[in-house]
Structure 1
Protein backbone atom coordinates (compact mmCIF):
# COMPACT_ATOMS: atom_id res chain seq x y z
CA UNK A 1 0.00 0.00 0.00
CA UNK A 2 2.85 2.38 0.80
CA UNK A 3 4.46 1.54 -2.54
CA UNK A 4 1.19 2.32 -4.31
CA UNK A 5 0.94 5.72 -2.59
CA UNK A 6 4.60 6.49 -3.38
CA UNK A 7 4.17 5.65 -7.06
CA UNK A 8 0.93 7.65 -7.30
CA UNK A 9 2.74 10.61 -5.74
CA UNK A 10 5.55 10.32 -8.30
CA UNK A 11 8.23 9.86 -5.66
CA UNK A 12 11.30 7.65 -6.05
CA UNK A 13 12.52 5.22 -3.41
CA UNK A 14 15.64 7.37 -3.09
CA UNK A 15 13.64 10.55 -2.42
CA UNK A 16 11.28 8.82 0.01
CA UNK A 17 14.15 7.19 1.87
CA UNK A 18 16.02 10.48 2.18
CA UNK A 19 12.85 12.14 3.49
CA UNK A 20 12.74 9.84 6.53
CA UNK A 21 16.53 9.31 6.69
CA UNK A 22 16.74 5.64 5.64
CA UNK A 23 18.43 4.10 2.61
CA UNK A 24 16.44 3.33 -0.56
CA UNK A 25 17.32 -0.34 -0.01
CA UNK A 26 15.72 -0.22 3.43
CA UNK A 27 12.63 1.49 2.03
CA UNK A 28 12.48 -1.21 -0.66
CA UNK A 29 12.63 -3.93 1.98
CA UNK A 30 9.74 -2.32 3.80
CA UNK A 31 7.68 -2.10 0.61
CA UNK A 32 8.43 -5.77 -0.05
CA UNK A 33 7.02 -6.70 3.35
CA UNK A 34 10.34 -7.39 5.05
CA UNK A 35 11.00 -6.29 8.62
CA UNK A 36 12.95 -3.08 9.10
CA UNK A 37 13.39 -0.66 11.99
CA UNK A 38 10.89 2.15 11.38
CA UNK A 39 8.73 4.28 13.66
CA UNK A 40 5.14 5.50 13.52
CA UNK A 41 6.50 9.05 13.14
CA UNK A 42 8.41 7.98 10.02
CA UNK A 43 5.33 6.27 8.58
CA UNK A 44 3.29 9.41 9.16
CA UNK A 45 6.04 11.54 7.59
CA UNK A 46 6.01 9.32 4.50
CA UNK A 47 2.26 9.77 4.18
CA UNK A 48 2.71 13.55 4.40
CA UNK A 49 5.41 13.32 1.72
CA UNK A 50 3.03 11.38 -0.50
CA UNK A 51 0.27 13.94 -0.01
CA UNK A 52 -1.90 11.65 2.14
CA UNK A 53 -3.01 14.19 4.71
CA UNK A 54 -5.07 13.96 7.87
CA UNK A 55 -7.96 13.41 7.96
CA UNK A 56 -8.33 11.01 5.05
CA UNK A 57 -9.53 7.43 4.63
CA UNK A 58 -6.24 6.39 3.00
CA UNK A 59 -4.17 7.70 5.90
CA UNK A 60 -6.42 6.03 8.49
CA UNK A 61 -6.17 2.75 6.59
CA UNK A 62 -2.37 2.79 6.45
CA UNK A 63 -1.95 3.77 10.11
CA UNK A 64 -4.54 1.17 11.12
CA UNK A 65 -2.57 -1.53 9.32
CA UNK A 66 0.63 -0.25 10.94
CA UNK A 67 -0.99 -0.62 14.37
CA UNK A 68 -1.81 -4.24 13.52
CA UNK A 69 1.81 -4.86 12.51
CA UNK A 70 3.07 -3.42 15.80
CA UNK A 71 0.64 -5.58 17.76
CA UNK A 72 1.87 -8.69 15.93
CA UNK A 73 5.49 -7.76 16.68
CA UNK A 74 4.74 -7.28 20.37
CA UNK A 75 2.87 -10.59 20.47
CA UNK A 76 5.78 -12.38 18.75
CA UNK A 77 8.25 -10.91 21.25
CA UNK A 78 6.13 -12.08 24.17
CA UNK A 79 6.00 -15.60 22.73
CA UNK A 80 9.72 -15.59 21.95
CA UNK A 81 9.20 -16.15 18.21
CA UNK A 82 10.34 -12.80 16.81
CA UNK A 83 14.06 -13.49 16.54
CA UNK A 84 16.07 -15.74 14.25
CA UNK A 85 16.34 -19.36 15.36
CA UNK A 86 20.03 -18.89 16.19
CA UNK A 87 19.22 -16.43 18.99
CA UNK A 88 18.46 -19.42 21.19
CA UNK A 89 22.24 -20.06 21.09
CA UNK A 90 23.29 -16.43 21.63
CA UNK A 91 25.26 -17.39 24.73
CA UNK A 92 27.38 -19.71 22.59
CA UNK A 93 28.80 -17.31 20.01
CA UNK A 94 30.55 -13.94 19.96
CA UNK A 95 28.33 -10.86 19.77
CA UNK A 96 29.56 -9.94 16.28
CA UNK A 97 28.47 -13.31 14.86
CA UNK A 98 24.76 -12.59 15.31
CA UNK A 99 24.75 -10.25 12.31
CA UNK A 100 26.61 -12.82 10.22
CA UNK A 101 24.05 -15.52 10.99
CA UNK A 102 21.21 -13.23 9.93
CA UNK A 103 23.01 -12.53 6.64
CA UNK A 104 23.75 -16.21 6.11
CA UNK A 105 20.07 -17.06 6.61
CA UNK A 106 18.99 -14.82 3.70
CA UNK A 107 21.94 -15.19 1.29
CA UNK A 108 21.54 -16.76 -2.14
CA UNK A 109 25.26 -17.33 -2.68
CA UNK A 110 28.15 -17.70 -0.23
CA UNK A 111 31.77 -17.67 -1.40
CA UNK A 112 34.40 -18.59 1.20
CA UNK A 113 38.18 -18.44 1.07
CA UNK A 114 40.01 -20.00 4.02
CA UNK A 115 43.72 -20.21 4.69
CA UNK A 116 44.07 -22.36 7.80
CA UNK A 117 40.90 -24.21 8.83
CA UNK A 118 37.82 -25.91 7.42
CA UNK A 119 34.94 -23.36 7.45
CA UNK A 120 32.18 -23.95 9.98
CA UNK A 121 29.55 -24.85 7.38
CA UNK A 122 31.77 -27.73 6.22
CA UNK A 123 33.07 -29.05 9.53
CA UNK A 124 32.50 -32.65 10.58
CA UNK A 125 31.09 -32.78 14.15
CA UNK A 126 34.30 -34.27 15.58
CA UNK A 127 36.43 -31.65 13.80
CA UNK A 128 34.12 -28.99 15.21
CA UNK A 129 34.34 -30.53 18.68
CA UNK A 130 38.15 -30.39 18.52
CA UNK A 131 38.06 -26.72 17.47
CA UNK A 132 35.71 -25.87 20.33
CA UNK A 133 38.06 -27.52 22.82
CA UNK A 134 41.04 -25.62 21.40
CA UNK A 135 39.26 -22.25 21.57
CA UNK A 136 37.53 -22.84 24.92
CA UNK A 137 39.15 -25.70 26.86
CA UNK A 138 37.14 -25.03 30.01
CA UNK A 139 33.75 -25.18 28.33
CA UNK A 140 31.20 -27.51 29.93
CA UNK A 141 30.04 -30.64 28.13
CA UNK A 142 26.54 -29.18 27.87
CA UNK A 143 27.78 -26.02 26.16
CA UNK A 144 29.98 -28.04 23.79
CA UNK A 145 26.91 -29.97 22.68
CA UNK A 146 24.91 -26.78 22.22
CA UNK A 147 27.62 -25.37 19.96
CA UNK A 148 27.62 -28.57 17.96
CA UNK A 149 23.85 -28.32 17.68
CA UNK A 150 24.15 -24.75 16.38
CA UNK A 151 26.66 -25.88 13.75
CA UNK A 152 24.42 -28.79 12.74
CA UNK A 153 21.43 -26.50 12.26
CA UNK A 154 23.47 -24.17 10.04
CA UNK A 155 24.59 -27.13 7.95
CA UNK A 156 21.01 -28.40 7.73
CA UNK A 157 20.01 -25.00 6.35
CA UNK A 158 22.57 -25.42 3.58
CA UNK A 159 20.99 -28.76 2.64
CA UNK A 160 17.38 -27.61 2.98
CA UNK A 161 17.96 -24.54 0.79
CA UNK A 162 19.71 -26.42 -2.02
CA UNK A 163 17.43 -24.74 -4.60
CA UNK A 164 17.92 -21.19 -3.31
CA UNK A 165 21.42 -21.15 -1.79
CA UNK A 166 24.73 -22.09 -3.37
CA UNK A 167 28.18 -22.12 -1.79
CA UNK A 168 31.65 -22.01 -3.30
CA UNK A 169 34.52 -22.75 -0.97
CA UNK A 170 38.17 -22.15 -1.89
CA UNK A 171 40.60 -23.74 0.57
CA UNK A 172 44.33 -23.39 0.82
CA UNK A 173 46.01 -26.80 0.82
CA UNK A 174 47.42 -25.76 4.20
CA UNK A 175 43.93 -26.37 5.62
CA UNK A 176 44.44 -30.10 5.05
CA UNK A 177 47.78 -30.05 6.84
CA UNK A 178 46.30 -28.88 10.13
CA UNK A 179 44.70 -31.77 12.03
CA UNK A 180 42.61 -30.57 15.00
CA UNK A 181 41.76 -33.63 17.06
CA UNK A 182 44.38 -35.80 15.39
CA UNK A 183 44.65 -37.97 12.29
CA UNK A 184 41.45 -39.95 12.90
CA UNK A 185 39.37 -36.77 13.10
CA UNK A 186 41.02 -35.41 9.96
CA UNK A 187 40.23 -38.64 8.12
CA UNK A 188 36.56 -38.23 9.08
CA UNK A 189 36.67 -34.61 7.99
CA UNK A 190 38.21 -35.42 4.62
CA UNK A 191 35.60 -38.14 3.96
CA UNK A 192 32.90 -35.66 4.93
CA UNK A 193 34.27 -33.15 2.42
CA UNK A 194 34.12 -35.79 -0.32
CA UNK A 195 30.44 -36.29 0.47
CA UNK A 196 29.72 -32.56 0.58
CA UNK A 197 31.47 -32.01 -2.75
CA UNK A 198 28.86 -34.25 -4.36
CA UNK A 199 25.99 -31.92 -3.50
CA UNK A 200 24.64 -29.84 -6.38
CA UNK A 201 24.75 -26.52 -4.53
CA UNK A 202 28.27 -26.90 -3.10
CA UNK A 203 31.53 -26.31 -4.97
CA UNK A 204 34.85 -27.14 -3.28
CA UNK A 205 38.29 -26.36 -4.68
CA UNK A 206 41.72 -26.56 -3.07
CA UNK A 207 44.52 -24.11 -3.87
CA UNK A 208 47.83 -26.06 -3.99
CA UNK A 209 50.73 -24.72 -1.96
CA UNK A 210 52.82 -24.63 -5.14
CA UNK A 211 50.17 -22.73 -7.13
CA UNK A 212 52.48 -19.76 -7.61
CA UNK A 213 51.55 -16.09 -7.29
CA UNK A 214 47.88 -15.27 -6.74
CA UNK A 215 45.79 -12.77 -4.78
CA UNK A 216 44.99 -15.39 -2.15
CA UNK A 217 48.51 -14.82 -0.82
CA UNK A 218 47.74 -11.23 0.17
CA UNK A 219 44.14 -11.39 1.43
CA UNK A 220 42.85 -12.75 4.70
CA UNK A 221 40.29 -15.50 4.96
CA UNK A 222 36.92 -13.99 4.08
CA UNK A 223 33.32 -14.75 3.17
CA UNK A 224 31.38 -12.96 0.41
CA UNK A 225 27.62 -13.07 0.87
CA UNK A 226 25.29 -12.20 -2.00
CA UNK A 227 21.53 -11.82 -1.75
CA UNK A 228 18.51 -12.35 -3.99
CA UNK A 229 16.77 -9.39 -5.63
CA UNK A 230 13.99 -7.83 -3.62
CA UNK A 231 10.53 -8.81 -4.90
CA UNK A 232 9.96 -5.30 -6.25
CA UNK A 233 12.98 -5.90 -8.55
CA UNK A 234 13.87 -2.23 -8.26
CA UNK A 235 16.77 -2.80 -5.87
CA UNK A 236 19.10 -5.56 -4.77
CA UNK A 237 20.52 -5.94 -1.29
CA UNK A 238 24.23 -5.05 -1.59
CA UNK A 239 26.78 -7.88 -1.12
CA UNK A 240 28.73 -8.07 2.12
CA UNK A 241 32.28 -9.26 2.77
CA UNK A 242 32.73 -10.75 6.23
CA UNK A 243 36.23 -10.92 7.72
CA UNK A 244 36.55 -12.53 11.14
CA UNK A 245 39.43 -12.06 13.54
CA UNK A 246 40.30 -13.29 17.01
CA UNK A 247 38.86 -10.19 18.69
CA UNK A 248 36.02 -9.27 16.35
CA UNK A 249 34.85 -9.05 12.78
CA UNK A 250 34.44 -6.63 9.87
CA UNK A 251 31.37 -6.28 7.66
CA UNK A 252 32.45 -4.58 4.43
CA UNK A 253 29.91 -3.24 1.93
CA UNK A 254 31.68 -0.51 -0.07
CA UNK A 255 31.55 -1.21 -3.80
CA UNK A 256 35.29 -0.93 -4.35
CA UNK A 257 35.94 -3.40 -1.51
CA UNK A 258 33.46 -5.90 -2.97
CA UNK A 259 35.11 -5.53 -6.39
CA UNK A 260 38.58 -6.20 -4.95
CA UNK A 261 37.36 -9.36 -3.26
CA UNK A 262 35.64 -10.50 -6.46
CA UNK A 263 38.97 -10.05 -8.27
CA UNK A 264 40.67 -12.04 -5.52
CA UNK A 265 38.14 -14.86 -5.95
CA UNK A 266 38.67 -14.88 -9.71
CA UNK A 267 42.44 -14.99 -9.26
CA UNK A 268 42.26 -17.79 -6.68
CA UNK A 269 39.94 -19.83 -8.91
CA UNK A 270 42.46 -19.66 -11.73
CA UNK A 271 45.13 -21.48 -9.70
CA UNK A 272 42.83 -23.82 -7.75
CA UNK A 273 42.44 -27.52 -8.51
CA UNK A 274 39.33 -28.58 -10.37
CA UNK A 275 36.42 -29.87 -8.31
CA UNK A 276 37.18 -33.41 -9.46
CA UNK A 277 40.87 -33.18 -8.56
CA UNK A 278 39.90 -31.61 -5.23
CA UNK A 279 37.67 -34.59 -4.37
CA UNK A 280 40.53 -36.95 -5.21
CA UNK A 281 42.83 -34.95 -2.94
CA UNK A 282 40.33 -35.21 -0.08
CA UNK A 283 40.19 -38.98 -0.59
CA UNK A 284 43.99 -39.26 -0.53
CA UNK A 285 44.18 -37.23 2.67
CA UNK A 286 41.61 -39.52 4.28
CA UNK A 287 43.54 -42.62 3.24
CA UNK A 288 46.83 -41.18 4.50
CA UNK A 289 45.29 -40.29 7.86
CA UNK A 290 43.71 -43.73 8.17
CA UNK A 291 46.97 -45.55 7.35
Structure 2
Protein backbone atom coordinates (compact mmCIF):
# COMPACT_ATOMS: atom_id res chain seq x y z
CA UNK A 1 0.00 0.00 0.00
CA UNK A 2 1.38 3.47 -0.83
CA UNK A 3 2.49 5.80 1.93
CA UNK A 4 0.22 8.72 2.76
CA UNK A 5 2.24 11.94 3.23
CA UNK A 6 -0.72 13.42 5.13
CA UNK A 7 -2.20 10.57 7.18
CA UNK A 8 -5.46 11.04 9.03
CA UNK A 9 -5.34 11.65 12.75
CA UNK A 10 -7.16 8.37 13.35
CA UNK A 11 -4.52 6.44 11.41
CA UNK A 12 -1.78 8.06 13.47
CA UNK A 13 -3.68 7.15 16.63
CA UNK A 14 -3.97 3.56 15.46
CA UNK A 15 -0.26 3.39 14.73
CA UNK A 16 0.75 5.05 17.99
CA UNK A 17 -1.33 2.64 20.02
CA UNK A 18 0.03 -0.37 18.14
CA UNK A 19 3.52 0.86 19.01
CA UNK A 20 2.53 1.21 22.67
CA UNK A 21 1.12 -2.32 22.67
CA UNK A 22 4.35 -3.65 21.18
CA UNK A 23 6.54 -1.81 23.65
CA UNK A 24 4.34 -2.87 26.59
CA UNK A 25 5.18 -6.48 25.74
CA UNK A 26 8.88 -5.77 25.41
CA UNK A 27 8.86 -6.49 21.69
CA UNK A 28 10.87 -4.82 18.93
CA UNK A 29 10.09 -3.81 15.36
CA UNK A 30 11.86 -6.97 14.22
CA UNK A 31 9.39 -9.12 16.19
CA UNK A 32 6.39 -7.48 14.53
CA UNK A 33 8.04 -7.64 11.11
CA UNK A 34 8.71 -11.36 11.55
CA UNK A 35 5.03 -12.05 12.26
CA UNK A 36 3.94 -10.00 9.24
CA UNK A 37 6.67 -11.47 7.00
CA UNK A 38 7.82 -7.99 6.02
CA UNK A 39 10.72 -5.65 6.67
CA UNK A 40 10.87 -3.39 9.72
CA UNK A 41 10.36 -0.27 7.61
CA UNK A 42 6.80 -1.38 6.85
CA UNK A 43 6.04 -1.79 10.56
CA UNK A 44 7.60 1.60 11.23
CA UNK A 45 5.38 3.20 8.57
CA UNK A 46 2.28 1.58 10.07
CA UNK A 47 3.18 2.79 13.55
CA UNK A 48 3.79 6.33 12.30
CA UNK A 49 0.48 6.36 10.41
CA UNK A 50 2.12 6.76 7.02
CA UNK A 51 0.84 3.38 5.81
CA UNK A 52 -2.56 1.77 6.42
CA UNK A 53 -2.76 -1.74 7.81
CA UNK A 54 -4.67 -4.67 6.34
CA UNK A 55 -7.18 -6.42 8.65
CA UNK A 56 -5.23 -9.68 8.33
CA UNK A 57 -2.01 -7.99 9.45
CA UNK A 58 -3.77 -6.24 12.32
CA UNK A 59 -5.20 -9.53 13.55
CA UNK A 60 -1.70 -11.05 13.44
CA UNK A 61 -0.31 -8.19 15.52
CA UNK A 62 -3.17 -8.42 18.02
CA UNK A 63 -2.34 -12.13 18.42
CA UNK A 64 1.31 -11.24 18.97
CA UNK A 65 0.37 -8.59 21.55
CA UNK A 66 -1.99 -11.03 23.32
CA UNK A 67 -5.15 -9.02 22.70
CA UNK A 68 -7.67 -11.85 22.97
CA UNK A 69 -10.91 -10.24 24.14
CA UNK A 70 -13.31 -10.32 21.17
CA UNK A 71 -14.86 -6.92 21.88
CA UNK A 72 -11.44 -5.31 22.23
CA UNK A 73 -10.26 -6.90 19.00
CA UNK A 74 -13.33 -5.65 17.18
CA UNK A 75 -12.62 -2.17 18.54
CA UNK A 76 -9.15 -2.28 17.00
CA UNK A 77 -10.52 -3.51 13.67
CA UNK A 78 -13.15 -0.79 13.68
CA UNK A 79 -10.45 1.82 14.34
CA UNK A 80 -8.50 0.47 11.37
CA UNK A 81 -11.56 0.60 9.11
CA UNK A 82 -12.33 4.17 10.13
CA UNK A 83 -8.73 5.21 9.55
CA UNK A 84 -9.09 4.38 5.84
CA UNK A 85 -12.09 6.62 5.24
CA UNK A 86 -11.60 9.80 3.30
CA UNK A 87 -12.90 12.75 5.32
CA UNK A 88 -14.71 15.80 3.97
CA UNK A 89 -11.80 18.13 4.68
CA UNK A 90 -9.30 16.18 2.57
CA UNK A 91 -10.33 18.21 -0.49
CA UNK A 92 -8.92 21.27 1.32
CA UNK A 93 -5.41 19.88 1.75
CA UNK A 94 -3.91 22.38 -0.68
CA UNK A 95 -5.70 25.33 0.88
CA UNK A 96 -5.15 24.78 4.61
CA UNK A 97 -2.00 24.06 6.64
CA UNK A 98 -1.52 20.51 7.89
CA UNK A 99 -1.77 21.49 11.56
CA UNK A 100 -5.22 22.97 10.91
CA UNK A 101 -6.29 19.83 9.05
CA UNK A 102 -5.14 17.89 12.11
CA UNK A 103 -7.40 20.03 14.30
CA UNK A 104 -10.40 19.20 12.11
CA UNK A 105 -9.46 15.53 12.32
CA UNK A 106 -9.27 15.68 16.09
CA UNK A 107 -12.77 17.09 16.41
CA UNK A 108 -14.10 14.57 13.90
CA UNK A 109 -12.39 11.51 15.39
CA UNK A 110 -12.22 12.12 19.15
CA UNK A 111 -14.97 11.38 21.63
CA UNK A 112 -14.23 13.98 24.32
CA UNK A 113 -12.69 17.44 24.52
CA UNK A 114 -12.02 19.58 27.56
CA UNK A 115 -10.44 22.99 27.32
CA UNK A 116 -9.97 26.59 28.36
CA UNK A 117 -10.46 29.72 26.25
CA UNK A 118 -9.72 32.86 28.27
CA UNK A 119 -10.25 35.61 25.71
CA UNK A 120 -12.40 34.40 22.81
CA UNK A 121 -15.40 32.11 22.36
CA UNK A 122 -14.21 28.69 21.25
CA UNK A 123 -14.57 27.97 17.52
CA UNK A 124 -16.98 25.08 18.13
CA UNK A 125 -19.36 27.51 19.86
CA UNK A 126 -19.16 30.51 17.53
CA UNK A 127 -22.06 31.92 15.55
CA UNK A 128 -21.42 32.73 11.90
CA UNK A 129 -21.39 36.50 12.54
CA UNK A 130 -19.07 36.21 15.55
CA UNK A 131 -16.73 33.92 13.59
CA UNK A 132 -16.67 36.43 10.72
CA UNK A 133 -15.59 39.15 13.15
CA UNK A 134 -12.88 36.97 14.66
CA UNK A 135 -11.51 35.73 11.34
CA UNK A 136 -11.73 39.18 9.76
CA UNK A 137 -9.87 40.72 12.69
CA UNK A 138 -12.20 43.71 12.76
CA UNK A 139 -11.40 44.71 9.18
CA UNK A 140 -14.33 46.26 7.29
CA UNK A 141 -15.77 44.65 4.18
CA UNK A 142 -16.28 41.04 3.10
CA UNK A 143 -13.83 38.28 3.93
CA UNK A 144 -11.10 37.38 1.48
CA UNK A 145 -10.98 33.99 -0.23
CA UNK A 146 -8.71 32.36 2.36
CA UNK A 147 -10.70 33.87 5.21
CA UNK A 148 -13.96 32.63 3.71
CA UNK A 149 -12.51 29.12 3.51
CA UNK A 150 -11.61 29.30 7.21
CA UNK A 151 -15.13 30.45 8.04
CA UNK A 152 -16.75 27.66 6.02
CA UNK A 153 -14.52 25.07 7.67
CA UNK A 154 -15.22 26.44 11.14
CA UNK A 155 -18.97 26.17 10.62
CA UNK A 156 -18.57 22.64 9.24
CA UNK A 157 -16.47 21.65 12.27
CA UNK A 158 -19.33 22.61 14.57
CA UNK A 159 -21.41 19.71 13.25
CA UNK A 160 -19.31 17.45 15.50
CA UNK A 161 -21.44 18.74 18.40
CA UNK A 162 -24.75 17.63 16.91
CA UNK A 163 -23.91 14.71 14.60
CA UNK A 164 -26.35 11.83 14.84
CA UNK A 165 -23.77 9.22 15.86
CA UNK A 166 -21.47 9.81 18.81
CA UNK A 167 -21.40 13.61 18.99
CA UNK A 168 -18.23 14.87 20.62
CA UNK A 169 -18.53 15.63 24.33
CA UNK A 170 -17.15 19.07 25.16
CA UNK A 171 -16.38 20.56 28.57
CA UNK A 172 -15.29 24.14 27.97
CA UNK A 173 -14.25 26.84 30.42
CA UNK A 174 -14.50 30.38 29.07
CA UNK A 175 -12.86 33.39 30.64
CA UNK A 176 -15.20 36.29 31.43
CA UNK A 177 -13.17 38.41 29.00
CA UNK A 178 -14.36 36.17 26.15
CA UNK A 179 -17.94 37.06 27.03
CA UNK A 180 -17.36 40.81 27.24
CA UNK A 181 -15.11 41.50 24.25
CA UNK A 182 -17.60 42.87 21.73
CA UNK A 183 -16.60 41.03 18.59
CA UNK A 184 -18.72 42.40 15.74
CA UNK A 185 -20.65 44.81 17.96
CA UNK A 186 -23.42 44.56 20.57
CA UNK A 187 -26.01 42.78 18.39
CA UNK A 188 -23.53 40.10 17.32
CA UNK A 189 -22.46 39.55 20.92
CA UNK A 190 -26.00 39.27 22.21
CA UNK A 191 -26.73 36.60 19.62
CA UNK A 192 -23.45 34.84 20.42
CA UNK A 193 -24.10 34.77 24.16
CA UNK A 194 -27.65 33.51 23.61
CA UNK A 195 -26.18 30.79 21.39
CA UNK A 196 -23.88 29.76 24.24
CA UNK A 197 -26.85 29.34 26.55
CA UNK A 198 -28.59 27.18 23.94
CA UNK A 199 -25.51 25.00 23.41
CA UNK A 200 -25.12 24.49 27.15
CA UNK A 201 -28.48 22.71 27.12
CA UNK A 202 -27.08 19.93 24.94
CA UNK A 203 -26.41 16.74 26.92
CA UNK A 204 -22.87 16.52 25.50
CA UNK A 205 -21.86 20.10 26.36
CA UNK A 206 -20.68 21.42 29.73
CA UNK A 207 -19.96 25.14 29.93
CA UNK A 208 -18.37 27.04 32.81
CA UNK A 209 -17.20 30.63 33.13
CA UNK A 210 -14.05 31.74 34.93
CA UNK A 211 -15.03 35.18 36.30
CA UNK A 212 -12.73 38.15 36.74
CA UNK A 213 -13.29 37.92 40.48
CA UNK A 214 -11.14 34.80 40.90
CA UNK A 215 -7.95 36.80 40.36
CA UNK A 216 -4.83 34.81 39.54
CA UNK A 217 -5.26 31.18 38.59
CA UNK A 218 -3.09 28.22 37.71
CA UNK A 219 -1.83 27.98 34.15
CA UNK A 220 -2.25 31.63 33.26
CA UNK A 221 -4.31 33.14 30.40
CA UNK A 222 -3.26 30.62 27.78
CA UNK A 223 -5.83 28.60 25.80
CA UNK A 224 -5.57 24.84 25.44
CA UNK A 225 -7.65 21.76 24.67
CA UNK A 226 -7.22 18.12 25.61
CA UNK A 227 -8.78 15.62 23.19
CA UNK A 228 -9.44 11.98 24.06
CA UNK A 229 -9.95 9.22 21.52
CA UNK A 230 -12.58 6.49 21.96
CA UNK A 231 -11.71 2.95 23.00
CA UNK A 232 -9.72 0.85 22.36
CA UNK A 233 -7.32 3.78 22.25
CA UNK A 234 -6.44 5.46 25.51
CA UNK A 235 -4.59 8.18 23.64
CA UNK A 236 -5.03 11.85 24.46
CA UNK A 237 -3.67 14.89 22.64
CA UNK A 238 -3.12 18.43 23.92
CA UNK A 239 -3.73 21.26 21.46
CA UNK A 240 -2.03 24.62 21.92
CA UNK A 241 -3.03 27.42 19.55
CA UNK A 242 -1.34 30.68 18.59
CA UNK A 243 -1.76 33.24 15.83
CA UNK A 244 -0.10 31.23 13.08
CA UNK A 245 -0.15 27.54 14.00
CA UNK A 246 -1.28 24.71 16.25
CA UNK A 247 1.02 22.62 18.42
CA UNK A 248 0.12 19.07 19.41
CA UNK A 249 1.51 17.37 22.52
CA UNK A 250 1.15 13.62 23.01
CA UNK A 251 3.65 12.86 25.78
CA UNK A 252 1.90 11.47 28.91
CA UNK A 253 3.66 14.05 31.09
CA UNK A 254 2.18 16.89 29.00
CA UNK A 255 -1.26 15.27 29.14
CA UNK A 256 -1.01 15.04 32.91
CA UNK A 257 0.18 18.64 33.25
CA UNK A 258 -2.75 20.08 31.31
CA UNK A 259 -5.22 17.70 32.92
CA UNK A 260 -4.16 19.08 36.32
CA UNK A 261 -4.57 22.66 35.08
CA UNK A 262 -8.03 21.89 33.72
CA UNK A 263 -9.09 20.27 37.00
CA UNK A 264 -7.92 23.38 38.86
CA UNK A 265 -9.81 25.66 36.48
CA UNK A 266 -13.07 23.70 36.64
CA UNK A 267 -12.91 23.77 40.44
CA UNK A 268 -12.23 27.53 40.40
CA UNK A 269 -14.77 28.52 37.74
CA UNK A 270 -18.46 29.13 38.36
CA UNK A 271 -20.76 26.12 38.26
CA UNK A 272 -23.02 25.63 35.27
CA UNK A 273 -26.05 27.43 36.71
CA UNK A 274 -24.04 30.43 37.95
CA UNK A 275 -22.21 30.53 34.62
CA UNK A 276 -25.54 30.71 32.82
CA UNK A 277 -26.69 33.47 35.16
CA UNK A 278 -23.53 35.49 34.46
CA UNK A 279 -23.99 35.13 30.70
CA UNK A 280 -27.63 36.22 30.98
CA UNK A 281 -26.53 39.22 33.01
CA UNK A 282 -24.03 40.27 30.35
CA UNK A 283 -26.77 39.94 27.70
CA UNK A 284 -28.97 42.30 29.70
CA UNK A 285 -26.10 44.77 30.05
CA UNK A 286 -25.49 44.66 26.30
CA UNK A 287 -29.20 45.31 25.67
CA UNK A 288 -29.39 48.35 27.95
Q: How far did 1:246 drift? A: 1.5
Equivalent positions of 1:162-173 (< 5 A) are 163-173=166-176
State the match for 1:223 in structure 2: 225
Q: Does 1:207 align with 2:210?
A: yes
Q: Does 1:258 align with 2:255?
A: yes
Q: Please list every run of 5 or more consecutive structure 2 residues that lacks an aligned counterpart in the other structure.
A: 1-20, 31-39, 65-82
State the match for 1:4 in structure 2: none
What SS does the aligned partner of 1:96 have?
A: helix
Q: How far did 1:255 drift? A: 0.8
Q: How far did 1:36 drift? A: 5.8
Alpha-carbon spacing, 1:107–1:137, altered in 2? closer, same or farther (3 Å): farther
What SS does the aligned partner of 1:220 have?
A: coil
Q: Does 1:159 align with 2:173?
A: no
State the match for 1:106 in structure 2: 109
How big is the alpha-carbon RMSD for the aligned residues of Structure 1 and Structure 2? 3.4
Q: Please list every run of 5 or more consecutive structure 1 residues that lacks an aligned counterpart in the other structure.
A: 1-11, 30-34, 51-72, 77-81, 231-235
TM-score, normalised to structure 2's length? 0.70
Q: How far did 1:92 drift? A: 5.4
State the match for 2:51 in structure 1: 37
Q: How far did 1:150 drift? A: 1.9
TM-score, normalised to structure 1's length? 0.69
Alpha-carbon spacing, 1:199–1:102, altered in 2? closer, same or farther (3 Å): same
In structure 2, which of residues 246, 264, 273 is the aligned counterpart of residue 276 of structure 1?
Answer: 273
Number of matched pairs:
234
Alpha-carbon spacing, 1:172–1:22, altered in 2? closer, same or farther (3 Å): farther
Q: How far did 1:88 drift? A: 3.1
